[in-house]
Chain A
Amino acid sequence: MQPITPTIRVEADDFDLQAEIDALTAGRTDIGAVVSFSGLCRGEKGTLSALELEHYPGMAEAEMTRIAELAIERFSLMGLTAIHRFGKIEPGENIVLVIACSPHRQAAFDGANFVMDFLKTSAPFWKKEHAADGSPRDWVSAKDADDKAQEKWL
């Protein structure tokens, strides 16, 4: 079997979910399951005007690639795409995309879940909130729940 190379992108631009799925499945007849996760910016009941996503250029791509390769190996995935945006992102807009492909559904579900759990805790991105009323807001705090979600795979 050919080694699977993940598609990893860190970009300011939005992504097209269907185009990314098509890129993974075009011409393939061995993929039986495609699971995608999209993370969107919440408006927090109108109080948030935007999130500003900062990242560590170079390390962000490297860390996402490392996580993706772990997932491909662990779940024998047939295709994996992970895209994370940076810059100013408004409520309703996309932030992150993970797509995992496998012959059967469980590996694709687990692979996408694994990548998201590790991405949250170890990919170097930080969110800053901008309030709708212009009042000063701060950096989003890391959540214990995210650490616990990652630890369940160890």
Chain B
Amino acid sequence: MTKLVYFAWVRERIGKPDEDLDLPASVVTVGDLLTHLATLGEEYENALQYPDVIRVAINQEHVEHDEPIAGAREIGLFPPMTGG
């Protein structure tokens, strides 16, 4: 099981702040994960329809979309940051 956490409009569109998911072995990279999640239902498809804009953190560190997810305890998905 991998813990997924969502923030800002990604959280709102998916409709939950976090969840534990069993990911298929075919999901190797962050990019694969985004493609896989988009198949889980309309709310995911809506949240992830433009995967290029989604920022991802593995174990609370920023990663690119080609990063392997092996060993990830927690994967965060969120829009570009707007703090400060």
Contacts and interface: CB of A to CB of B under 8 A. Distances in A.
Interface of A: 39, 53-56, 58-59, 62-63, 84, 95-96, 116, 119-128, 138-142, 146
Interface string B1-22: 0000101110000000000000
B84 A54 contact: no
Given A120-B84, A141-B80, 20 more contacts: A39-B84, A62-B60, A95-B83, A116-B84, A120-B83, A121-B80, A122-B62, A125-B82, A125-B84, A126-B7, A126-B8, A126-B78, A126-B82, A126-B83, A138-B9, A139-B8, A139-B79, A141-B82, A142-B79, A142-B80
Which bracket fits the contact residues of B?
A: 10 to 19
B82 to A, nearest CB: 4
A54 B8 contact: yes
B76 interface: yes
B30 to A, nearest CB: 16
B78 A56 contact: yes
B83 A96 contact: yes
A75 to B, nearest CB: 19
Nearest to A126: B8
Contacts of A123: 81, 83-84
A39 B8 CA distance: 21
23 contacts: A54-B7, A56-B7, A59-B57, A62-B60, A63-B62, A116-B84, A119-B83, A119-B84, A121-B80, A124-B7, A124-B83, A125-B84, A126-B7, A126-B78, A126-B79, A126-B82, A138-B9, A139-B79, A140-B82, A141-B82, A142-B80, A142-B82, A146-B84
